[in-house]
Amino acid sequence: MKMGKIRDTREIRRVVYLCEGKVCGPAGGAENTAALREALGERGVPGVHTMRTGCQGFCKRAPVVSVQPDGVWYGEVTPTTARRIVEDHLVAGKIVEERVFTSEPGL
């Protein structure tokens, strides 16, 4: 059985928003989505839903991934970082600090 598959929206505890907008997409957004989803599938993290998005408004930090409702925004994400978001943040509860940004929105 594939663990971590959402069957009921009431199971959702976190949503990972993976930007594939006009800036993040060409900067590796789709590769990040693939890596993060693959790692989630391998680890079977329960209650995590992923969504590909358009621009999240922080293009200067592209490619962007955010984890809600944790309020954590990751920038300059690579597939390696995406896998660490799964392993460190979503499984172990430790934010990948060196990729977190806090800034004003900007395109």
Taking the complex as a whole, the smallest distance from the CB of residue 103 to ligand FES amounts, in Å, to 11
Whichever of 45 and 62 has its CB closer to ligand FES, that residue is 62
Taking the complex as a whole, the smallest distance from the CB of residue 58 to ligand FES amounts, in Å, to 5
Taking the complex as a whole, the smallest distance from the CB of residue 5 to ligand FES amounts, in Å, to 27
**CA within 13 Å, CB half, 7:** 4
CB-nearest residue to ligand FES: 21
Taking the complex as a whole, the smallest distance from the CB of residue 79 to ligand FES amounts, in Å, to 16
Whichever of 48 and 62 has its CB closer to ligand FES, that residue is 62
How far does the chain reach from its first CA to its final CA, in angstroms? Answer: 42
Report whether 68 contacts 17 (CB < 8 A): yes
Binding site for ligand FES (CB under 6 A): 19, 21-24, 55-59, 62, 64
The contacts of residue 92 (CB under 8 Å, 6+ apart) are none
Whichever of 58 and 74 has its CB closer to ligand FES, that residue is 58
Burial letters 44-82, b for 16+ CB under 10 A, else e: ebeebeeebbebbebbebbbbbbbeeeebbbbebebebb
Whichever of 70 and 76 has its CB closer to ligand FES, that residue is 76
